[in-house]
Amino acid sequence: MRVNAELRASDDDRHRVVDALQRHTQAGRLTLDEFSDRVGDVYAARTLGELAAVTRDLPVETASAPDTSHRDLLIIFAIAVAALLLLGIYIALFR
C-alpha cells in the first residue's frame, strides 16, 4: 500500500516516527545527538513525505512479538479481583 507523500501528517503519525527513532537509538543506529536532531525534524514535518525522509536511511522494522505487558497486568488484576471475592465470601460465610 503506497501512501501519498503530500498528505498532511497527524500528531499520531509524528508519535509513531518518534517511537521508531527511539527504538533505532536503543539499537545503536543513532547517537543521542542524531536522535535529537531527527525528533526536531519530525515535529517540524508537515507531510507524510517529510516524515518518511527522517527515517529513510534506517532499516525497516520487522514486526516484533506483541507486547504482553498489558495482558500480564490484566491477568494480575483478574487474580486480585478473584482473591478479593473469595475473601469476601469467606468472611460472609464464617462471620
Q: Residue 41 has what pLDDT?
A: 96
pTM of the model: 0.63
> Helices 11-26 and 32-44: crossing angle, nearest 10°?
170
- Kindly state whether residues 24 and 11 are assigned to the same domain: yes
**pLDDT tens-digit series, residues 21-76:** 999 999 999 999 999 999 999 999 999 999 999 999 999 887 665 566 777 888 88
Q: Based on the domain organization, do 38 and 52 belong to the same domain?
A: yes
Q: How many domains does the chain have?
A: 2
Question: What cell was used for 48?
Answer: 507524510
Residues 29 and 72 occupy one common structural domain: no
pLDDT (0 to 100) of residue 73: 82
- How many Å from the N-terminal Cα to the C-terminal Cα in the chain? 65
Task: Looking at the structure, tell me whether residues 38 and 14 fall in a common domain.
Answer: yes
Same domain, 33 and 21: yes
**pLDDT tens-digit readout, 76-87:** 889 999 999 999
Domain holding 75, by residue range, is: 67-95
